[in-house]
Amino acid sequence: MLELRDLSKKYGGKFALKRLNLNVPPGQLCILLGPNGAGKSTLLRILCTLTRPSGGDALISNHSVIEEPTDVRRSIGAVLHEMLLYEDLTAAENLRFYSRLYGVPSEEKRIDDMLARLNLLHRKNDRVGDFSRGMKQRMSIARALISSPKVLLLDEPFTGLDVKSKDQVSSMLTEAVTGGATILMTAHDPDMAHDLGHRLLVLVDGKLQYDRQKTSVSKTDFVSEYKRMAGAAP
Amino acid sequence: MMREAMAVAWKDFRLELRTRERLSSMIIFSLMVMVSFRFAFSFFAVHADDPARSSALVPPILWIAFFFAGMLGLAPAFSKETDAGTLNGLLLAPADRFAIYLGKLFSSLVFIFAVSLSSIFFFAIFFNYDYAGQWAGVIGVTLLGTLAYASIGVTVSALSSTAKTRDVLLPLLLITVTLFTVVVPSINATSNILTNDYDAAMTHVRYVIAFTLISFVLSYFLFDEVLED
Amino acid sequence: MNWGKRHDTALHVTLLVTLLLLAYLSAFVAYVPSGTWDMGSFRMFFYHIPIAWTAYLSFGIVFVASIAFLKTRSQKWDMVAASSAEVGVLLTTLALLTGALWSKAQNGYYWTWDDAKLFTTFILWMAYVAYVALRAGIRGEAKARLAAVFGIISFVFVPLSFFASRFMTSLHTNLTSYPFPRENVAILVLGVIAFTILFASLLRLRLGLEKITAQVEVVKEGMEEST
C-alpha cells in the first residue's frame, strides 16, 4: 500500500532523508518516531506530494508520487501541522467544501456521520474559529477521513489533545485500519506508540534505524531502546 | 475540473459572505479614488455637454479606480490561504492545479465586477455624468477589461503571495504586466465608445480579448509551477 | 570549477573589448557627417543602439534560462537568469538614458509617449525591475521557480505591449531618413559586437559572483551543522 524506494531529499547541500526503503502492506498502523529534525515531517510531505523527492521514489496504492501525484492524492487523507480549516466557516461548511473538492457522494449524510463519530455533531453549525484546540484537531481528522482514503498520513495528530480526545481519535484510527486502511503516523511518545501501533519505525538523522512489529518487542524494551537512539542523535 | 473549481469559488463566496472583508475594502477604496479625483479635477468639471473633454478624462479615472480596487480583490485570493495555512488543503486535493486557478478566477471576477459596476454608478453620481448615454458600451468594455486583468492577475497574485514584500510586489508585477496590455487599451476603447467611434473601440477590444486568451494559455501551462513545492 | 583560469580569460576578453571600444570611438570621430546631425547627439546614437540591442538580448536570455530551469530544475539556469536580469536592468537603464539624451539633442525633448519602441523599452525596464524585486522578496526554494514563471510571463508580455502600442503611436525616430554613409554602418556593427562582448563578459562576471555566493552558502550551512 505504501512503499519507499531509495527515497532521498536534499535541502540546499544537506540530506534530510537518505535512501529510505520501506514496504507497508494494507491494514497496518505504522508509527514513525524520531527526534526533532530527523526528517519525519519531510517524509510525510513527500508522501502527500507537497514536495518532490530529490532521489528515489515513493509509491502509494501503487501510484508514484513523482509520476502520478493526482492519483496519490486521491488515495490519501492527511493530517498535518496546519489544521487546513477555514476558521470563519462552520464545521459543516468546511466539510462540505472538502467533500466537493474530493467528489464525495451523498455529502450531507457523510458529513453528519463523520461529525457524529468525532463527537462534533452538536457544533455542526458553529464557526471552527471558536473551537478548542482538541476540537480543531478532531475536525482536521474529520476532514482527512471525509473522502474515505485508503492511506492515512498523520503528523503528530495527538498534539494538544486531552485524554478523552486522544482515546476517541485512537479508536477511530484503529477502526480505519481494521477496515483495511494503511496508516503512517509520526509521534514523539514511544509509550503511546507501542500501545497503538502495529509496526514501530524510528527515523534518526534521515535514516530508518529501527523497524519492528509491536508484538516482537516489549514496551519497556522499546521505550529504553528508543531513548537510547534518540539520545545518541546529533 | 469544473467541480473542484466551483467548490473553490463557492468556498470563497461563503467566506466573503461571512466576513465581508474583501468587498468592503474594495468598495471603500473605489469610492475614495472617485472622491479624490472629484476634488483633484475640480477645475475640470466634467460636463456632459463637452464630450471631447469628458471622453478623454473619464476613462482614465475609471480605470485607475478599477486597477487598484481590482488589486485589492486579487491580493487576498492567495495571501489569505497562505497566511491561514489552508493552501495545502487545496494542494492536497486530487484536482488539476488549473482548477484552483479557475476557481479563484471566478470568485475574484465576481468581486471585481461587482466593485467595477458599482464604481461606474458612483462615478455617474459624483460627477453628474451619464456616459453620453453609452451605458451598455462602457459596462461591456469594463467587463472585458476586468476579465483580462483578472486572468493574469490571479496568476501574478499566486506568484507574489509567498513573498515577504508582497504588498508592494503585487502592484509592481501587475502594472508591469497589465498596464499597456489591459489598462491602456481599455481606456482607449472606453474613450472611443464615449465618442461613438465603434470601429476604433473594436480594435482595442479585440486586442484585450486576444490578451485574455494568451493569459489563459500561459496560466494553464505555468500555474502548476506557481503553486507546487 | 577552476576560477583561476577563467579569471585570466575574463581579463583577456575585457581587454579585447576595451580595445574594440577605443577603436570604435576613434573611428567615428573621423567620420563626422556634414549637415543635419549635431556632433554630440550623433555620437550618442552609436552608444544607444548597441546598448538597446544588448538590453533586449539580455531579456531573451532571461526567458530562455527560465524555461530551461523549469524543465531541468538545474540551479545553473536559475543563476543565468538572475545574472542576466541584473545586467539587463543596468543596460536598459542606460538605453533609456542614452535614448533620452539623444532625443533631447535631436528633437528637443527627452521623452514622448508617442514612440512605440520607446515605451516598449520602458516596459522592458519595468519588467526587469519587477523580476529583480520578485527575486529579492522571496527566500528559499521557491525563489528560482517563481522567478522563472515571472520571467516567462513578462517576456511574453513585452512584445504584447508593443503590439498594443502600435494602435496609437508613430514610428520610432525614422533612421532611414537620415544621411547615413556606409562607413557608419560598419562602425555601428563594430559597436554592436563590442557591446555584445561587453555584455557577455559582464554576464560571465556576474554569474561567477552568483556561483561563489552559492558555494559560500553551502559552506555556511556546513559550519552551522557542526556547531
Residue boundaries of the structural domains of chain C: 58-218
Distances in Å between the alpha carbon of A194 and those of A31, A37, A138, A214, A220?
8, 22, 22, 6, 9
**Chain A residues touching residue C141 (CB < 8 angstroms):** 11
Specify the pairing of strand A14-24 against strand A2-11. Answer: antiparallel
Cβ distance A97 to B84 less than 8 Å, yes or no, reads: no
What's the average model confidence in pLDDT over A59-86? 90
How far CA A122 is from CA of A85, A115, A126, A135, B135, in Å, comes to 18, 8, 9, 12, 51
Q: Which of C108, C117, C86 is nearest to C210 (CA)?
A: C86
> What mean pLDDT, rounded, does chain A reach?
87
CB B61 within 8 A of CB B34: yes
Q: How many CB atoms neighbour CB C203 within 10 A?
A: 20
- Residue partners of B145: CB distance under 8 A and separation at least 6: B63, B66, B182, B183, B185, B186, B189, B208
pLDDT, average across residues A159-164: 82
Chain B residue numbers touching A103 (CB-CB < 8 A):
3
Q: State the average pLDDT over residues C44-54.
A: 78
Which residues of A are less than 8 Å from C217 in CB distance?
12-13
Residues on C contacting A at a C-beta cutoff of 8 Å? 141, 217-218, 221-222, 225
Phi-psi region of A39 (alpha: psi -120 to 50; beta: other; left: phi over 0): left
**CA A140/CA A115 separation, integer angstroms:** 11
Task: For residue B67, give how far its alpha carbon lies from the nearest alpha carbon of chain A (Å).
Answer: 28
The conformation of residue C141, written as its DSSP 8-state character, comes to: T
Coil, helix or strand for A187?
strand
pLDDT at B46: 53
Under 8 Å between Cβ of C65 and C78: yes
> CA-CA distance, A231 to B61, in Å (whole number)?
67
Residue numbers in C near B166 (CB within 8 A): 137
pLDDT of B144 strictly over 90: yes
Q: How far is C69 from chain A (nearest CA, A)?
A: 16
Position C114 confidence tier, pLDDT thresholds 50, 70, 90: low
pLDDT at B195 exceeding the cut of 50: yes
Q: In whole angstroms, what is the distance from residue B143 CA to residue B189 CA?
A: 12
- The nearest alpha carbon in chain A to C214 belongs to A12
Average pLDDT over residues A41-54: 89
**Helices and strands, counts by H and E, chain C:** 6, 0
Which residues of chain B does A49 touch, with a Cβ-Cβ cutoff of 8 Å? 91-92
Residue C24: per-residue pLDDT: 67
Q: Quick one: three-class SS letters along A105-159?
A: CCHHHHHHHHHHHCCCHHHCCCEHHHCCHHHHHHHHHHHHHCCCCCEEEEECCCC
Q: Cβ of A9 under 8 Å from any chain C Cβ?
A: no
Contact A70 B18 (CB under 8 A): no
Q: What is the ipTM of this complex?
A: 0.86
Nearest Cα neighbor of C45 from C191, C220, C156, C209 is C191
Count CA within 13 A, CB hemisphere, residue B104.
Answer: 28
Among the residue ranges B25-34, C8-17, C122-131, the one predicted with the least confidence is C8-17
What is the pLDDT of chain C when averaged over all its residues?
Answer: 76
Neighbours of C109 (CB within 10 A): 9
Mind listing the pLDDT tens digit for each residue in A98-129? 999 998 888 888 888 888 888 888 888 888 88
A103 in reach of chain C (CB within 8 A): no
Q: List the subunits that have 3+ CB pairs under 8 angstroms with C.
A: A, B
Kindly report the three-state secondary structure assignment for every residue of C158-203. HHHHHHHHHCCCECCCCHHHCCCCHHHHHHHHHHHHHHHHHHHHHH
Q: Is the pLDDT of residue C28 over 80?
A: no
Chain A interface mutation, best of B10, B15, B87, B92, highest count of A Cβ atoms under 10 Å: B92
Are residues A84 and B92, on separate chains, in Cβ contact within 8 Å? yes
Q: How does the average pLDDT of chain B come out, rounded?
A: 87
List residues bridging with A59 in a β-sheet: A3, A64
| Whole-structure pTM value | 0.85
A224: pLDDT strictly greater than 50 = yes
Among chain B residues, the shortest Cα distance to C126 is held by B176
Ordered DSSP codes for A22-79: EEE-TT-EEEEE--TTSSHHHHHHHHTTSS--SEEEEEETTEETTT-HHHHHHHEEEE
A99 Cβ neighbours under 8 A, 6+ residues apart: A107, A110, A111, A146, A147
Write out chain C residues lying below 8 Å of B160, CB-based. 134, 137
Name the residue with higher pLDDT: B52 or B182: B182
For the cut 50, the answer to whether the pLDDT of residue C36 exceeds it is no
A207-213 and A199-204 strand pairing: antiparallel
Across the interface, whether the CB atoms of A84 and B86 are under 8 A apart is answered yes
Chain position carrying cell 529583480? C132
Give the mean pLDDT of A205-214.
Answer: 84
pLDDT at C226: 60
Shortest Cα–Cα distance, A55 to chain B (Å): 15
- Let me know the angle formed at the C-alpha of A150 by A144 and A156, rounded to the nearest 5 degrees: 45
- C-alpha cell belonging to residue C65: 534560462
Q: In the structure grid, which three cell numbers stand for residue C171, read together?
A: 514610428
- Best residue in B97, B181, B199 to probe C by mutation, most C CBs within 10 Å? B181
Reported as a single tens digit per residue, the pLDDT across B99-128 is 999 999 999 999 999 999 988 988 888 777
Torsions phi, psi for C180 (to 5 deg):
-135, 90
How many Å apart are CA B114 and CA B20, to the nearest integer?
A: 13
Three-class secondary structure of residue B6 per DSSP: helix
* Res A168: pLDDT: 83
Helix (H) or strand (E) holding C129: helix C116-137
Q: Is the pLDDT of residue B150 over 90?
A: yes
**Cα separation, B154 vs B177, whole angstroms:** 12
Q: Which domains does chain A have, with CATH numbers?
A: 2-85+149-232 (3.40.50.300)
**C22 has a pLDDT exceeding 80:** no
Q: How far is the alpha carbon of B18 from chain C, nearest alpha carbon, in Å?
A: 32
Beta-carbon neighbour count of residue A92 at 10 Å? Answer: 20
Residue A8: how many other CB atoms lie within 10 Å = 16
Q: Is B22 on the interface with C (CB under 8 A)?
A: no
Q: Confirm or reject contact between A76 and chain B (CB < 8 A).
A: yes
d(CA B2, CA C44): 57
Give the minimum alpha-carbon distance from B46 to chain A in angstroms, rounded to a whole number. 44
Rounded to an integer, what distance in angstroms lies between the CA atom of residue A55 and that of residue A53? 5
Q: Is A97 on the interface with B (CB under 8 A)?
A: yes
Any chain B CB within 8 A of the CB of A104? no
CB A65 within 8 A of CB A47: yes
- What is the DSSP secondary structure assignment for residue B131, as one 8-state letter? G
The C-alpha cell 533631447 sits at C104
Give the E-state strand segments of B46-143 in sequence order.
none
From the list C126, C138, C161, the residue facing B163 with the nearest CB is: C138
Does A45 contact chain C (CB < 8 Å)? no
Taking 50 as the threshold, does the pLDDT of residue A67 lie above it?
yes
Is there a contact between C225 and A12 if contact means CB atoms under 8 Å apart? no
Q: Which of A145, A141, A143, A178 is nearest to A158 (CA)?
A: A141
In this prediction, residues B196-224 reach a mean pLDDT of 89
What is the rounded distance in angstroms from the CA atom of residue A207 to the CA atom of residue A232?
Answer: 14
Q: What is the pLDDT of residues C158-196, one digit of tens each?
A: 887 777 766 555 445 544 445 555 666 666 777 777 777
Grid cell at residue A46? 513527500
Cα–Cα distance for residue pair A68/B83, rounded to 1 Å: 28
What is the largest distance, in Å, between two alpha-carbon atoms of chain A? Answer: 51
Q: Is A111 on the interface with B (CB under 8 A)?
A: no
**pLDDT score of C198 more than 80:** no
Instruction: Give the one of B162, B165, B211 whose C-beta lies nearest to C160's C-beta.
Output: B211
- Predicted confidence at residue A55, as pLDDT, reads 87
